[in-house]
Amino acid sequence: MKKILFPILTFLFLSLAVPSECFPQVQTPDDWTTLKDAKAWTIPREHTRLLKISTGKEFIQLDASALSQTPAFSNIQLNVPGIDVKSAENRTFFFTLDVEGTKDTPVNVYLEGRNSDGKFLAVHLKRGGRFSGTLSGKRQKMFFQAFIPKGVQELHWRFDFFKAGVFRLYGVKTRFLPTQDPTEEMKRKPELIFHLPFDGNTEPKTAFGEKKPLESRNVDFVPGLSGQAANFTRKRSPALRYALEKNLDPQRGTISVWVKGTPTDAGWRTMLTMPWNMETRIGSGAVWFWLWCGKLRCDTSDVMDQSITSVPLDLEEWTHLVFTWNPFQMRAFV
């Protein structure tokens, strides 16, 4: 029987040779960048004449299906202006691309522009490997994160599609993180805000917020490392939820837990996660502390913000796992 035990759960507050094609304005929701003055061409540029460009009510469409029989074709490049440079410089932002296109098309996403000296600036948004992502064949959202340095004079998005096909861009959305000083973060005094011993019940010993669980279902208790421990088995479909307010700070903190069990080789086992939705989790800031294919994974739902152990954990013996984070960094310890 697959199971996982928790004896203690603690939260610590820390504290173109061929001219490019232009598009008319496309309607987008209020909180998305208006798609206008976008330009597209092919690489090599002499094939741009085979690129059919049109706009719908909610999207820009690039039809490059005629290029499928062109051996020299490399990719389509689409440039979209709309980044407020004054608001962006020296800040980190989350960027969402709403796109649809031919299945299995590799995509690269860049931020391009000029710095204060007029020199070319390019930031390739990716998470390892050569490409930023791959299209699914259906409308989808792709999420990225980037830091914009000081002194940027002009900035725009660039999207490269590396396959002949049909592509629709519905919109781009940007959310900036507040500007903060790391030295101020370091001055915060650590403070214990939630402590759950699991010693025979699910009531926290310490809780700055609501103590009573919002939900406590099928949580069994067995002998633990010291006292008792909570025993979670998939067969029992257990659930344990607490109020977020004052009990956990999504911006900063440390989660410390002792674990013993036999996690599954595939899929995930949740140790602590905030409420989530598959469409909105990335970029939401929700804290995730979990096991995936036997490996410890920790993140705060930001695109580039993730820690993962290189090998699966051996949890046959009691193991101490710690996840600590703040707006500037995060670490996981075993």
Position 29 pLDDT exceeds 50: no
Report the pLDDT value the prediction gives residue 281, as an integer from 0 to 100.
66
Strand partners, 333: 322
Residue 170 near residue 139, CB atoms below 8 Å: yes
pLDDT in the model for residue 23: 42
Span 309-331, average pLDDT: 81
Find how far residue 169's CA is from the centre of its chain. Answer: 20
Q: What number is the average pLDDT over the span 12-41?
A: 50
Amino acid at 77: Q
Residue 65, pLDDT score: 94
pLDDT at 49: 92
pLDDT band at 6 (very low <50, low <70, confident <90, very high): low
pLDDT exceeds cutoff 80 at 163: yes
- Tokens 């206008």 belong to residue: 36
Residues 180-209, mean pLDDT to the nearest whole number: 84
Taking alpha carbons only, the member of 19, 176, 41 closest to residue 96 is: 176
| Mean pLDDT rounded to a whole number for the chain | 79
Q: CA torsion angle for 300, 213, 201, 314 (degrees, to 10)?
A: -20
- Tell me which of 84 and 223 has the higher pLDDT: 223
Q: Is the pLDDT of residue 96 over 70?
A: yes
Distances in Å between the Cα of 298 and the Cα atoms of 38, 191, 226 are 38, 21, 26
pLDDT, tens digit, 9 for 90 and up, residues 234-281: 888 888 999 989 998 888 888 898 988 865 555 678 888 887 666 556
Confidence at residue 266, expressed as pLDDT on a 0 to 100 scale: 59
> In the chain, pLDDT over 70 holds for what percent of residues?
78
Average pLDDT over residues 100-112: 92
Q: Given this model, what pLDDT does residue 4 score?
A: 58
Closest CA to 143 of 121, 172, 164: 172
Range with the largest mean pLDDT of 83-87, 155-159, 185-189, 314-318: 155-159
Domain boundaries, the chain: 3-14+185-333, 33-176
- What the block records as the tokens of 129 is 């490997």
* pLDDT for the residue 25: 43
N residues, the chain: 334
50-87 tens-digit pLDDT: 999 988 888 889 999 999 988 889 999 998 887 777 77
Structure-token pair, residue 33: 């960048």
In this structure, which amino acid lies at residue 236?
R
Residue 34 has a pLDDT of 54
Rounded distance between C-alpha atoms, residue 3 and residue 296, angstroms? 16
pLDDT tens figures, 293-306? 788 888 777 655 56
Sheet with 140-148, edge to edge strand ranges? 52-55, 60-63, 166-176, 91-101, 140-148
Question: Range with the lowest mean pLDDT among 165-174, 178-187, 189-198, 252-261?
Answer: 178-187
- Name the residue with higher pLDDT: 118 or 306: 118
Architecture label for domain 33-176: Sandwich (2.60)
Name the one residue in this structure whose structure tokens are 């421990």.
Answer: 229
Give the β-pairing of 39-43 and 52-55: unpaired
Contacts by 188-191, CB closer than 8 A, 24 or more apart: 188/13, 188/14, 188/15, 188/252, 189/15, 190/12, 190/13, 190/14, 190/15, 190/254, 191/12, 191/13, 191/15
Q: Of 170 and 269, which is predicted with more confidence?
A: 170
